[in-house]
Protein backbone atom coordinates (compact mmCIF):
# COMPACT_ATOMS: atom_id res chain seq x y z
CA UNK A 1 0.00 0.00 0.00
CA UNK A 2 2.83 2.38 0.83
CA UNK A 3 4.36 1.85 -2.61
CA UNK A 4 1.04 2.73 -4.24
CA UNK A 5 0.82 6.01 -2.33
CA UNK A 6 4.43 6.88 -3.17
CA UNK A 7 3.97 6.16 -6.86
CA UNK A 8 0.70 8.15 -6.96
CA UNK A 9 2.38 11.14 -5.30
CA UNK A 10 5.32 10.82 -7.70
CA UNK A 11 3.00 10.70 -10.73
CA UNK A 12 1.05 13.72 -9.51
CA UNK A 13 4.29 15.64 -9.00
CA UNK A 14 5.48 14.72 -12.49
CA UNK A 15 2.14 15.89 -13.90
CA UNK A 16 2.46 19.22 -12.14
CA UNK A 17 5.98 19.67 -13.49
CA UNK A 18 4.84 18.90 -17.02
CA UNK A 19 1.95 21.37 -16.69
CA UNK A 20 4.37 24.09 -15.54
CA UNK A 21 6.65 23.34 -18.48
CA UNK A 22 3.81 23.74 -20.97
CA UNK A 23 2.68 26.92 -19.18
CA UNK A 24 6.19 28.28 -19.75
CA UNK A 25 5.81 27.49 -23.46
CA UNK A 26 2.56 29.49 -23.52
CA UNK A 27 4.30 32.43 -21.84
CA UNK A 28 7.13 32.24 -24.38
CA UNK A 29 4.58 32.24 -27.23
CA UNK A 30 2.98 35.34 -25.72
CA UNK A 31 6.36 37.09 -25.48
CA UNK A 32 7.12 36.18 -29.10
CA UNK A 33 3.77 37.57 -30.21
CA UNK A 34 4.38 40.79 -28.25
CA UNK A 35 7.78 41.14 -29.95
CA UNK A 36 6.13 40.57 -33.34
CA UNK A 37 3.52 43.18 -32.49
CA UNK A 38 6.17 45.76 -31.69
CA UNK A 39 8.20 44.92 -34.78
CA UNK A 40 5.60 44.10 -37.43
CA UNK A 41 2.27 45.10 -35.85
CA UNK A 42 0.68 41.66 -36.19
CA UNK A 43 1.11 40.19 -32.70
CA UNK A 44 -2.55 39.52 -31.84
CA UNK A 45 -3.08 37.79 -35.20
CA UNK A 46 0.06 35.68 -34.63
CA UNK A 47 -1.00 34.47 -31.18
CA UNK A 48 -4.53 33.77 -32.44
CA UNK A 49 -3.17 31.74 -35.34
CA UNK A 50 -0.91 29.79 -32.97
CA UNK A 51 -3.63 29.21 -30.36
CA UNK A 52 -6.05 27.95 -33.01
CA UNK A 53 -3.47 25.66 -34.60
CA UNK A 54 -3.25 22.00 -33.70
CA UNK A 55 0.05 22.48 -31.87
CA UNK A 56 -1.22 25.51 -30.02
CA UNK A 57 -4.36 23.74 -28.85
CA UNK A 58 -2.25 20.80 -27.69
CA UNK A 59 0.16 23.04 -25.73
CA UNK A 60 -2.71 24.97 -24.15
CA UNK A 61 -4.41 21.73 -23.13
CA UNK A 62 -1.20 20.33 -21.64
CA UNK A 63 -0.77 23.59 -19.71
CA UNK A 64 -4.21 23.10 -18.18
CA UNK A 65 -5.89 25.80 -20.29
CA UNK A 66 -9.07 25.00 -22.22
CA UNK A 67 -8.29 26.03 -25.82
CA UNK A 68 -11.59 27.71 -26.63
CA UNK A 69 -12.35 30.94 -28.47
CA UNK A 70 -12.68 32.92 -25.25
CA UNK A 71 -9.09 31.99 -24.35
CA UNK A 72 -7.91 33.00 -27.83
CA UNK A 73 -9.59 36.40 -27.41
CA UNK A 74 -7.94 36.83 -24.00
CA UNK A 75 -4.52 35.99 -25.43
CA UNK A 76 -5.08 38.51 -28.23
CA UNK A 77 -6.06 41.21 -25.73
CA UNK A 78 -2.98 40.46 -23.62
CA UNK A 79 -0.69 40.74 -26.63
CA UNK A 80 -2.46 43.93 -27.70
CA UNK A 81 -1.59 45.56 -24.37
CA UNK A 82 2.10 45.03 -25.16
CA UNK A 83 3.20 44.23 -21.60
CA UNK A 84 5.74 41.40 -21.54
CA UNK A 85 4.81 38.41 -19.42
CA UNK A 86 7.72 38.81 -17.02
CA UNK A 87 6.59 42.35 -16.26
CA UNK A 88 2.89 41.48 -16.13
CA UNK A 89 3.55 38.71 -13.61
CA UNK A 90 5.82 40.79 -11.40
CA UNK A 91 4.77 42.06 -8.00
CA UNK A 92 5.51 45.68 -8.91
CA UNK A 93 3.19 45.58 -11.92
CA UNK A 94 0.47 43.96 -9.84
CA UNK A 95 0.78 46.64 -7.17
CA UNK A 96 0.74 49.38 -9.83
CA UNK A 97 -2.43 47.95 -11.40
CA UNK A 98 -4.12 47.66 -8.00
CA UNK A 99 -3.20 51.26 -7.15
CA UNK A 100 -4.54 52.47 -10.50
CA UNK A 101 -7.78 50.54 -9.99
CA UNK A 102 -8.17 52.01 -6.47
CA UNK A 103 -7.59 55.52 -7.85
CA UNK A 104 -10.24 54.90 -10.54
CA UNK A 105 -12.72 53.71 -7.91
CA UNK A 106 -11.97 56.76 -5.76
CA UNK A 107 -12.60 59.09 -8.71
CA UNK A 108 -15.85 57.35 -9.56
CA UNK A 109 -17.14 57.68 -5.98
- State the chain's mean pLDDT as an integer: 90
Calculate the alpha carbon distances from 73 to 26, 45, 59, 64 in Å: 15, 10, 17, 17
Q: pTM to 2 decimals? A: 0.78
Report residue 17's pLDDT band, with 50, 70 and 90 as the boundaries: very high
pLDDT for 41: 95
CB 85 within 8 A of CB 33: no
Report residue 18's pLDDT band, with 50, 70 and 90 as the boundaries: very high
Tell me: the pLDDT tens digits for 52-90?
A: 999 999 999 999 999 999 999 999 999 999 989 988 888
- DSSP, collapsed to helix, strand or coil, labels residue 63 as coil
Q: How far apart are CA 97 and CA 91, in angstroms?
A: 10
Amino acid sequence: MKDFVDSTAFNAEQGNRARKLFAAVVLAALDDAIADDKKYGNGPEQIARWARSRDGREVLSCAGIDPNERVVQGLMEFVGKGIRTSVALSREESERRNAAAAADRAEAA
